Structures are given as C-alpha cells and as structure tokens.
Structure 1
Amino acid sequence: MSTVHGSTVMVAADGRARMARRTASRGDRIDEAARVRWGWDRLRPPQREAIEAALEGRDVLAVMPTGSGKSAIYQVAATLVPGITVVVSPLIALQQDQLAGIEDAPDAPRATVINSHVPAGRLEESWRDIEAGEIEYVLLAPEQLVKEDVLARLKRAEVSLLAIDEAHCVSVWGHDFRPDYLELGTARRALGNPPVIALTATGSAPVRDDIIARLGMNDPLVIATGFDRRNIRLSVERHTTASESRQAVLDDIVALPKPGLLYVATRADTTRYAEALEELGITALGYHGGMSARDRKRAHERFRDDEVEVVVATAAFGMGIDKPNVRFVVHAAVPDSLDAYYQEVGRSGRDGQDAQARLHYRPEDLGLRRFFAAKNPSAGQLRRVIGTLQYADAVVSVADLAERLELTRRRVGGLLDLVEQAGRLRRSARGVRLRAGADVEEVVAEAIAAAEQRERIDGSRIEMMRGYAETDRCRREVLLAYFGEEFTPPCDRCDVCERGSGPEHHEADGPFAVQSAVRHALWGDGTVMSTEDDRITVYFEAEGYKVLSLDAIEEHDLLEQV
C-alpha cells in the first residue's frame, strides 16, 4: 500500500513539475514575443493572464480601460499560434489605427484590411496573400465577416483566433449596440469555433453576460479591471430650470482648460451650443449621427489635430477617438446609463494628467431618457418581418430582408433580435429563418414580451444614473460599484468627498457579499453589485437593478443566497 501511495505521489509530483515547466516555457515565449516582435519590455499581469488563456484555447473577455493595452492581448497571442487571427472592428477608422499599430512594431507581422474602401485589385492581392499563408492578421468589420464568400475563404486559410474589438456592440444593453455584431456568433461557428478574445473598455454585469451568451463563449476567462481613472475628477451640478442649466454649461466650458467634449441630448442642441460657444470666442463644432460620413470624418480630424477647442456632440461621437489631451468631458444632460457615462467621461485624461468630468443635472431630463428607452417595437413591423420569413423558401440575409421591407438594417436587426430572444429564430452564415411551426401572432406576442423586459431593465439603468447624480456618497464609489468593483472612500477627487459631506464609511459586514448570487421569489436570479450599511443593490437578470433595504430583506425573507 505504501508503495502504491508513494508512486502516486511521485507521479503527481512529476505531473506538477511538467506542468510548471510548460507554464514557464509558455511564459518565456510570451515575454520573448512581446519584447522582440513588439518592443515591449514587460506585459501587465491582466494582459499576460489573458494571453496565456488564449494560448490554452480558452475564450477570453477582457474589460479594461482605454490605454491599458487590450490590443496587446491578441497581438501577442497571434504571434504564438499557427494560422491567422481575424480582428473585428466596427469602424474603418479603427481598423486603420489597428493596422498602423501592427505595422509600427519592430518585427511587424503582416496584416491586411478587408473592407469596402479597399480597391478591388488590392483586395484580391490581399486574399492571395491570406491563402498563401503570408498574412497573420486580417482586420475587418462585422458586416464583412458574415458574408458567405468571406467566411469560406477565411475557413480555408485556417483561423486560429477571433478577436472582437468594441465587444459591447454585441450587447443590447451596451450603449453602442450594433445588430451586425449579433451575427458574429454564427460566423464563429462557420470558422470552426476558434477561441474568441472579446475586448471592451466598458462592461457592467448585464453587458458582460450578454457578450458571453451572444458570442457563444464557453467558460471564458473574464478579466474586468482598472475601472478607476483616478486622474478624472467627478462632479455633478444640479439645476432647477433649463435656462439655468444652459448658462452653467456655457460658463463651465469657458472656464475649463481646453480641448474638451460637450455631450448633449439632441441633434438640435449640438448646433445651439456650438453657435453659443463660437459667440463666446471658443472654436467649436457640432457633431451627430445625422451628418454625412465625410463631415463626420472631417470633424474627427479637426478635433484630433487641435483645430477646434470643443466638440459639441450627441452620443454618436467618440468610438475610435484616442486623443490623449482631452481636459474635460461635460454633460449638458444625463446619459441613459452609467455604462454610457463611464465610456464618455473616459475619453478625457488619457495622458494621465488631471481632467474634469462634470454632469449638469435636472431630474426633469430623465423623462427624455425614459422616452428614448421606451423601445417597444411596432406590432405591425414585427408581423411584416415574421410573415416575410414565414413564407420565404430559404434563409434570408438581413440586408435582403431590410430591402424587402424598406426598413434600415439597424431596425430590422433589432426586430430580429427580439424574435431570437423569443426562441423563434435560427441564424446561419447565409442568413436567418423562422423555426418550424412558428405561429405569427404567438411570435409577435413573445417578441413584444422580450421588448418589455428590455424596457424594464433599461428603466432600471436610468434609475442607477439618477442614483449617481443624486447620491450623497463618494461618486467614485457609486460609479465603480456599478461595474462590480469595490472602492473605499474618500477618493478626494469628487465633489462629495471634497466637500466632506458624504456619510462616514463603514466596512460592510452584512450577509450579502459583492458579486454573490441571490434569488428573489418574483424577480428571479440576481447578483449583488454593491452593499451599504442599510441597503444593497442587486442586478436581476429579468428585471434589472433593484435597491433593497436590508431590514426589508430580513423582515420579509426577500432574498435567498444561491
């Protein structure tokens, strides 16, 4: 018996030793690739952890702030695996930035871009290089990747990794939701299910869960770190009238160091504020999604090149902007969620120097956000979509469906997502089709129910935004808690802490730990996001965010720990 036990110990010890040698060897290879091919002396621990997981064939979701080196994860990992790495980005400008970042490396791997702006001759040359095994990185947009011919050619070239930038675009809870991203899970399967590296700078609990589900990620390594941007000072100024708020915004912009961003609620406001700032001697321009692509591109360039001091924009401005010296982000009205707010204020202070994030708040402005959040679809439009699919002889592409129905691809994509959430839609590389036996009215009812659930969750996120604006606690603590990151105040970099008006902080010693799983009889399963002395905030998968009194929980036995 002792011999058997002894041999077992020896075998286990030998196994551990071999594992340690393999791990050390992989670590050395990662360090060498980072140093020799990319010119980086060292990687940060989260980068290294993510790269190691990807090399083991594991899916990775990295939620890290801009400037923390998310791109390094796929860049280094790709040099250590055979085949090609496909990198998905939503904007051509982002693809060009990523291409430049790769080409600037000391031992630059070969990369190419596949998009509609590439001339046909050059595009075919790129495909020949891909098929000859001479390309390591292929950068493209989601609408390119989901094309049948593109998928077929990439599959023949053997895709080893699929990197998805701005991954929050796949989530209906993300502030930049793009229906084209919904097809990436299907595209992944068509490519043979390569490991996925999903990257985003912002991702609250519902956004992370949505990314994982929609991309078909299997037991992914989730890295969510670095949400605290300590160089950004957080403050809120409350107003009673619209005119008072408007004047305070203009006074702020005049006084603050430039350049900066002013976010407004409507397209009309971009023009009004830009003209008012020009009258005050500040070079400003308006920006919104209704502008032509050429005008939007020119606005980006002028801001990047310091030709204007202030961009007055709707939420359409920002993705792909990596200007390090933005000194302030002012909001003239509340955004629709803390996800959007964090992403927008995070565009300031990327050089590490002091920056200001200032929110001008009127409770009445929340009504506009609730109006925008009420996205219940037209039953008539749903019937048209479902009816068209029901009588189609084969699968239908989203583009064809949009053309037949004379609706935008974005609108059709959103309607199809609701049908999919109702469990009645099948996706493939060639398009979509209804599941067999679907009754039109039943599917319409189920899709509307899915939309109503989404509206409830959107409404709860607006209430979390209200909570941030009206809190008497450290604003940094409230903001980080939303993303599941604990912080001990005071931060001394928000208006509440600077006034010394926040409640005295006590270490939470209640029965519910942050990130613990709970269950409510009516609201279902949830996750504890933050705890205070007398209350907790829970995100419920079916209902959104709820703030619950600890006394009420105990008195009525409201929550069960699971």
Structure 2
Amino acid sequence: MSSTRTTRSASDPIARIAREDFGWSSLLPGQREAIESAAAGRDTLLVLATGGGKSAVYQIAGAERGGVVLVVSPLVALQADQLASIEAAPAAPPAVAVNSAQGASAVARAWERIDEGGPLYVLLAPEQLAKEENVARLAAAGVSLLVVDEAHCVSSWGHDFRPDYLRLADVRRELGDPPVLAMTATASGPVRDEIIERLRMHDPEVQVHGVDRPEIRLVVHRHESENEKRAAVVEEARSWTAPGLVYVATRKETEVYAAEIAAEGRRVAAYHAGLKVSERKVVHEQWRQGELDVVVATSAFGMGIDRGDVRFVLHATTTESLDAYYQEIGRAGRDGEPATGALHYRAEDLGLRRFFAKRSVDKAALRVVWAAVTSQPGVSIAELAEALGKPARTVSRIVNDLADADLLETGAGLRATSEVSGDAAVRAVKEAIASRERIAESRLSMMRAYAETTHCRRRVLLDYFGVESEEWCGNCDGCERREAAFEHAVQEAPADAPLSVDEAVEHREWGAGTVMSVEADRATIFFESEGYKVLSFAALETGVLREREDASA
C-alpha cells in the first residue's frame, strides 16, 4: 500500500487491522469508506479501478466482522492470487479455497475447516453454490459477510455475464441474509442498478472511486482491411520494449498474432480458454515472474492478472462493451506510470461481436426440464440431470435461462415461481434471450461511439460510467488532434479572417460548434453532433453558418 496516504491512529480499528493483521501502513483512496460500510453490516457496492485494492476491502472488513467471510470469485486463478495474499499477511485470519482444480482430499480438508467456523475466509466459485449441501454447511458455519467479487458478472448489462451468479440472491437467503459486499472494477449506471437488483441488496452504500485512469493514453487506429490491421497491431507490439498485452477475438488469432510478434525476438505467449489448465497456469506464472514480454490473449486472460509494469494494452478488435474495454486497458499502468491503451478498429469487427451475442433455444430440452422441475419441487440440478439422462452442463444452462426469465428460484433446490405451460416457458425464455441480445446491441453501439468519436475519448468513457470530467483530458488522440489544430491555427490564421480560433458558431443543420483552425478561405470547426468539418467562409455569407450571439456564455 502507498506510504503517501495518511495513516490513522492506533485507536482506529480499521487502521489497526490493516497494519497489524496485513502489514499495510495506510489505505488507498476509496478503500476506507467501503470498509467502514461493510464492517458495519450494510450492503455495499464498490466500484474501484483495477489496481485500487478491492481485495483489501473485503479482507479488512471481514477481519473486523469475524465469522466466516464467503468470497464468491469466478476464476480459480483469481482465488489462488487472493489466497496467497491472505496467507502471506502477518496475522490475517486463515483462508481456504474450494474449486474444481483441487483434489478430493484438499476439498475435504477445506470443508472440515469450514465446519469449524470463523474467523475464516472461504473462497469459492459460484457453481459450488449450486450444490445444496455446500450451502447448508456454509449456513451452519455462520457466514458474517457475503463478498461478490467481479460483481458485474451478475448483470445482463455487464460485459462478463455469468448465469451462475443469478443464484446468489437465493443463496444469500439460505445463508441467513448476511450483508453483501459487491465489488467490481468497472460498472456503468445500468450495471450498478442491476447488480443491486439481482443481489437484492438492501439500501446499499454505493462507492465509486478511481474510475479515471489519467496515466493511460487512449488511442484508436482505424483500418480499412483485416490484413492492414493485423500488420499494424504486430508492428506496434514489436515497437514496445516494455511488457504489454494484446487482446484478440478468437483462439486461432492468439496463435497467429503471437507467432508474428515473437518473430522479432520478443518473449511472447498465446493464451485462451482452450489451453489445458496446466498450460494456462504456466503462462500465468511466466507473466507474473516477468518471463514474458507480451501475452496475446482472448478475454479469458484478465481477472486476477496482477503486474504493475504493463506499459501497453492493444486491442486487435473491439470488445463487446465499454465496460470490458476499460477493464482490459486498466491492466496497463497499475504502477501509476504512463501507459497506452490502443484500439485497432474496423467497423466490420462489430459484426463478429454480434455473432458471439446470438443465442438459440433448444425448445424440446427446455420443455422437458420445465416439466420435470414443476413436477418435482426442490429437485437439484444434479438429480435433474441424472433423471433426464442429460449432461449436467446442459441442464444447468437451461435452468439458468429459466431463472433469467424469472420462472425459477434456485436456492434450496429448484422451484418454479410461475405455473405456466411448457410452450409459455419457451416463449418467456426466448423473450429473455432477445432482451439480452438487445442489451448486447446497445453495448456495441456505445463501443462504436467511443471508437468513432472525434472528441475527447476519455470524456466518452467517463460519461458512460457517470463520472464528471473535464471537456478535454489532454492524454488521448482526440485531444492531440485538437492541440495540433490550435498550433496550426496560430501559425496559419490570416489577420483579416472573418472567424477566429476558439470562436463559437452555429450551423443551420449541425448546431453549435467551435472554430478549431482558420486558413485563407476556410475554417475547421468542431461540431458536437458531427465532429470536425471544414467549411468555406462562403457559408457565413449564405447564412448556413453564423457567429453565435451567446459566444461569451
């Protein structure tokens, strides 16, 4: 933790726990308010930028509350990082993890420790809570705080929606309704609202901190062809001597880009969900230890990747949302030093994202599952899969679709919330999926707006997240173009020109604008609705363009 922050007195229990239990001399901005709220037992939603210390919030709040602190975390790698952090602390409460990567004996030992009760941190994946016996054992142990890490996974509006997260509100009830601490690095207004609704948070304290990352320079490079784009991405990745990440859309592209970037002698690895667990683990460790210069990855490489010296994050394609994009570029510059987030953009890439967002419904399988659930209230997913002779993964996906359509509760067994026919259930699920696809299209529209803006890119991002900001940030390509236009205007503007730089004007069709540069017979004007336009002074004579009377306002 930064030594530049003010250290609280020894009489402050939060400062004492931070110092004595975890070895932290001070807290980072945004941590204290969330810790105080969660420790007091109030539902809390924390939006804190990547690298801002979200884990410390639940660790200190959990130590203050005592008991079993249940941490729901989506990735095994993320759990491993957090477990190692707790175990390395000088006097923190003990911690255990339960996940699919462990052997049976390790899982058994973890549950034996859980049965003993707190103080204890328990880290597990949401799918572990689909097992009723697990929820019952946790309830018996006494959960004092339910921590939902990467909470955007619960939101349809979020960029990493995980259906297993939909069960958490029902699980919370089965655990005795402990207070919830939901945490994420990026969440726009709609995402925050849905997190609160989906987790059934009661009068939550909402804390939003550190969303702006001014040290990251924001750039978009537009390309006409796929080959041109790939060559530009490879060239930019090769040009850096510092560590960086390159995000691509498909597993195949990770291998293609990695091979081309590595041709210049850079230490490069490809990473995607199709690799074996052991192979992914090797890449994780090599990256953490500084043994790799560049990782070319799909979005599977992300949460829990902790390395402070990343100087660039390149995207060879658009992400599905600004939430996802900002979280991924947020892995650069975590040490506070200058970094770059660059998007290599083709409008055609948005079509691939639309394809990924499409879903179909297996109507026959859904009717069978719905009939079984309505005839056997309280049945578990495992029992249902066995009775129907279907893979548990298939049944789980259908159950999640039914829950998303508000037809099922998934707490202590599966229970229908509505008495409708199989055909009606199919229609409800199809409507829910269609709604999700509309949301996905809306997210893509915002991504396109960012990529194609001629204004300040940071302003577009921060407006999306509901954070007030300056009109121009001074550290993006939009601001650089504006500054260059001003410099050109100072050098080239004729003394008798009818317009001057920074003058406010009004266009008959495009509305309000600001003069950016002036030449002998024309001016470059920035219109909020249209971007940059070059107009001849004849537009003034015809009345199409006029000087604004409220120019001083």
Q: Check whether TM > 0.5.
A: yes
Which SS does the other structure have where 1:297 is aligned?
A: helix
Which SS does the other structure have where 1:85 is aligned?
A: strand
Instruction: Render the CA deviation track for 1:215-260: whole Å, top value 9, x for unaligned.
Output: 1211111112211111111100111111111111111111123321
Q: Which of 195, 202, 212 is the aligned partner of 1:218? A: 202
Q: Which of 198, 201, 216 is the aligned partner of 1:232? A: 216
Which SS does the other structure have where 2:12 is aligned?
A: helix
Is the aligned partner of 1:440 residue 2:415? no
Which SS does the other structure have where 2:224 is aligned?
A: coil
Q: Which of 220, 238, 244 is the aligned partner of 2:228? A: 244
Which residue matches 2:192? Answer: 208
Work out whether residues 162 and 195 of structure 1, in 8 Å CA contact, stay in contact via their aligned partners in 2.
yes
Is the aligned partner of 1:259 residue 2:243? yes
1:349/1:399 Cα in 2 relative to 1: closer, same or farther (>3 Å)? farther
1:117/1:463 Cα in 2 relative to 1: closer, same or farther (>3 Å)? closer
Which residue matches 1:466? Answer: 448
- How far off its partner does 1:84 sit? 1.8
Instruction: Render the CA deviation track for 1:430-450: whole Å, top value 9, x for unaligned.
Output: 3x2333521111121122112
- Alpha-carbon distance between aligned partners in 2 of 1:186 and 1:77, rounded to the nearest angstrom: 23
Work out whether residues 489 and 505 of structure 1, in 8 Å CA contact, stay in contact via their aligned partners in 2.
no
Which SS does the other structure have where 2:89 is aligned?
A: coil
- How far off its partner does 1:413 sit? 4.4
- Alpha-carbon distance between aligned partners in 2 of 1:196 and 1:64, rounded to the nearest angstrom: 16
Report which stretch shifted further, 137-146 or 63-72. 137-146
- Alpha-carbon distance between aligned partners in 2 of 1:377 and 1:26, rounded to the nearest angstrom: 59
- How far off its partner does 1:105 sit? 2.1
The unaligned stretches of length 5 or more in structure 1 are 1-23, 507-531, 536-562
1:468/1:253 Cα in 2 relative to 1: closer, same or farther (>3 Å)? same
- Alpha-carbon distance between aligned partners in 2 of 1:195 and 1:490, rounded to the nearest angstrom: 40
- How far off its partner does 1:474 sit? 0.4
Work out whether residues 179 and 413 of structure 1, in 8 Å CA contact, stay in contact via their aligned partners in 2.
no
- Alpha-carbon distance between aligned partners in 2 of 1:347 and 1:333, rounded to the nearest angstrom: 17
Work out whether residues 68 and 118 of structure 2, in 8 Å CA contact, stay in contact via their aligned partners in 1.
no
- How far off its partner does 1:177 sit? 2.1
Which SS does the other structure have where 2:468 is aligned?
A: coil
- Alpha-carbon distance between aligned partners in 2 of 1:415 and 1:494, rounded to the nearest angstrom: 44
- Alpha-carbon distance between aligned partners in 2 of 1:378 and 1:98, rounded to the nearest angstrom: 38
Q: Which of 380, 393, 398 is the aligned partner of 2:376? A: 393
- How far off its partner does 1:363 sit? 1.1
Is the aligned partner of 1:299 residue 2:283? yes
Question: How many percent identity over aligned positions?
Answer: 50
Work out whether residues 334 and 365 of structure 1, in 8 Å CA contact, stay in contact via their aligned partners in 2.
yes
Work out whether residues 60 and 221 of structure 1, in 8 Å CA contact, stay in contact via their aligned partners in 2.
yes
Is the aligned partner of 1:428 residue 2:411? yes
Report which stretch shifted further, 64-73 or 396-405. 396-405
Work out whether residues 384 and 405 of structure 1, in 8 Å CA contact, stay in contact via their aligned partners in 2.
no
- How far off its partner does 1:160 sit? 0.9
Which residue matches 1:141? Answer: 125
The one-letter code of the counterpart of 2:403 is E
Work out whether residues 50 and 327 of structure 2, in 8 Å CA contact, stay in contact via their aligned partners in 1.
no
- Alpha-carbon distance between aligned partners in 2 of 1:407 and 1:26, rounded to the nearest angstrom: 56
Alignment of 1:362-381 (within 5 A): 362-381=346-365
Work out whether residues 151 and 195 of structure 2, in 8 Å CA contact, stay in contact via their aligned partners in 1.
yes
The one-letter code of the counterpart of 1:32 is R
Work out whether residues 152 and 195 of structure 2, in 8 Å CA contact, stay in contact via their aligned partners in 1.
yes
Which residue matches 2:522? Answer: none
- How far off its partner does 1:87 sit? 1.4
Length, aligned pairs only: 484
- Alpha-carbon distance between aligned partners in 2 of 1:175 and 1:53, rounded to the nearest angstrom: 27
Instruction: Render the CA deviation track for 1:335-378: whole Å, top value 9, x for unaligned.
Output: 11111111111111112222111111111111111222223534
- How far off its partner does 1:414 sit? 4.7
- Alpha-carbon distance between aligned partners in 1 of 2:133 and 2:167, rounded to the nearest angstrom: 15
The one-letter code of the counterpart of 2:435 is Q
Q: Which of 55, 68, 71 is the aligned partner of 2:52? A: 68
Which residue matches 1:498? Answer: 480
Q: Which of 350, 371, 379 is the aligned partner of 2:334? A: 350
- Alpha-carbon distance between aligned partners in 1 of 2:422 and 2:323, rounded to the nearest angstrom: 35
Instruction: Render the CA deviation track for 1:453-480: whole Å, top value 9, x for unaligned.
Output: 2211110110110100000110011011
- How far off its partner does 1:183 sit? 1.6
1:406/1:261 Cα in 2 relative to 1: closer, same or farther (>3 Å)? farther
Report which stretch shifted further, 106-115 or 324-333. 106-115
Work out whether residues 74 and 163 of structure 1, in 8 Å CA contact, stay in contact via their aligned partners in 2.
yes
Instruction: Render the CA deviation track for 1:508-536: whole Å, top value 9, x for unaligned.
Output: xxxxxxxxxxxxxxxxxxxxxxxx9669x
1:218/1:300 Cα in 2 relative to 1: closer, same or farther (>3 Å)? same
Which residue matches 2:540? Answer: none
Instruction: Render the CA deviation track for 1:254-298: whole Å, top value 9, x for unaligned.
Output: 112332111111222112112222333333222222222222222
Work out whether residues 257 and 327 of structure 1, in 8 Å CA contact, stay in contact via their aligned partners in 2.
no
- Alpha-carbon distance between aligned partners in 1 of 2:384 and 2:156, rounded to the nearest angstrom: 20
Report which stretch shifted further, 131-140 or 229-238. 131-140
The one-letter code of the counterpart of 1:396 is V
Q: Which of 24, 27, 30 is the aligned partner of 1:43? A: 27
The one-letter code of the counterpart of 2:71 is V
Is the aligned partner of 1:168 residue 2:152? yes
- Alpha-carbon distance between aligned partners in 1 of 2:23 and 2:340, rounded to the nearest angstrom: 33
Normalization by structure 1: what TM-score?
0.80
1:475/1:407 Cα in 2 relative to 1: closer, same or farther (>3 Å)? farther
Alignment of 1:485-524 (within 5 A): 485-500=467-482
Which residue matches 1:321? Answer: 305
- Alpha-carbon distance between aligned partners in 2 of 1:36 and 1:311, rounded to the nearest angstrom: 37
- Alpha-carbon distance between aligned partners in 2 of 1:488 and 1:389, rounded to the nearest angstrom: 54
Work out whether residues 284 and 310 of structure 1, in 8 Å CA contact, stay in contact via their aligned partners in 2.
yes
Alignment of 1:37-116 (within 5 A): 37-44=21-28, 46-116=30-100
- How far off its partner does 1:126 sit? 4.1
Q: Which of 262, 274, 294 is the aligned partner of 1:278? A: 262
- Alpha-carbon distance between aligned partners in 2 of 1:270 and 1:79, rounded to the nearest angstrom: 41
Work out whether residues 217 and 339 of structure 2, in 8 Å CA contact, stay in contact via their aligned partners in 1.
yes
Work out whether residues 267 and 288 of structure 1, in 8 Å CA contact, stay in contact via their aligned partners in 2.
yes
- Alpha-carbon distance between aligned partners in 2 of 1:121 and 1:266, rounded to the nearest angstrom: 36
- Alpha-carbon distance between aligned partners in 2 of 1:114 and 1:288, rounded to the nearest angstrom: 23
Which residue matches 2:316? Answer: 332
- Alpha-carbon distance between aligned partners in 2 of 1:27 and 1:48, rounded to the nearest angstrom: 15
Which residue matches 1:456? Answer: 438
The one-letter code of the counterpart of 2:214 is R
Q: Which of 396, 399, 402 is the aligned partner of 1:416? A: 399
- How far off its partner does 1:136 sit? 2.4
Which SS does the other structure have where 1:80 is aligned?
A: helix
1:309/1:43 Cα in 2 relative to 1: closer, same or farther (>3 Å)? closer
1:412/1:495 Cα in 2 relative to 1: closer, same or farther (>3 Å)? farther
Report which stretch shifted further, 123-132 or 418-427. 123-132
Which SS does the other structure have where 2:176 is aligned?
A: coil
